[in-house]
Structure 1
Amino acid sequence: MPTTTASEILAKWLADALDKAGKSQSELARDIDLSSQKINRMVQGAREISGVELIKISDALNIPIPSLSGNATPEQASPAPLSTSETQPQRGATGNFSEEAYDKAFTAALEIEKREFGGNMPLQDFINAVTIGLKRQKN
């Protein structure tokens, strides 16, 4: 069985997520402030999805980010939907961190993405940067 690339996994995930959410590519584009053409290219697998875009899409469509394991099939890449309580966090403190802590960590990760990766930081690196930022605030 051929290996599925991260781009293929994300393209399938995005197409499936749009279908499940009942949203058009244009609606998603408006929701996350991108052009419809960029969303279409993502769905076709012709455009990489940045870490920030992936997080925005996940939030806008209320669906978890898929596993990007290099040997996953597209069917394995679509995780089970989250329950309502998991997908609608309460305002204020979330887990052990305040919204301000998340905002600081996310902003720092965005700065690193822009400075060191030209706005195209790999998703796992972006997640690691946010995690490190949260851990530093906790200590």
Structure 2
Amino acid sequence: MDKTESPGVAEGVDALTLNNASNEKLDKVPNGVEATENEGDVVDPWNVVSTNDEGIDYDKLIKRFGSSKIDEELIARFEKITGKQVHHFIRRGIFFSHRDFHSILTLKEQSKPFYLYTGRGPSSGSLHIGHLIPFYMAK
């Protein structure tokens, strides 16, 4: 396999590699799930705690996790390319950051195939209500 090939990628479909854009080492909770602590803020899969009266600083989370803010320019680009209004979870700020969404839009503009792998699967004995939001968003 040469350097341009990716294992498990369908022929003719571009693969994206999601990297920590800031190249910073992320803190880990004991089981290996990414977490962050900034000025008393703790965000992990089980806790969202802020000691600041203003609440969680989402800009710090975006920087910490190496994602990018979903801004009006990106939303306008999505709507122009797809001819559809962006999902209401994005419009309402429920989903506020992304990793490589601009790359997916570029592939769509070029009429190139791509796939979406959410990595969402049952983390317990069966699917539960916590799986609903990412499934609903990705449909």
Please tell me whether Structure 1 or Structure 2 has the larger radius of gyration of its CA atoms: 2
**Structure having greater relative contact order (Cα 8 Å, sep ≥ 6):** 1
Decide: shared fold, TM above 0.5: no
Q: Normalized against structure 1, the TM-score is what? A: 0.23
Q: Choose between structure 1 and 2: higher helix proportion.
A: 1
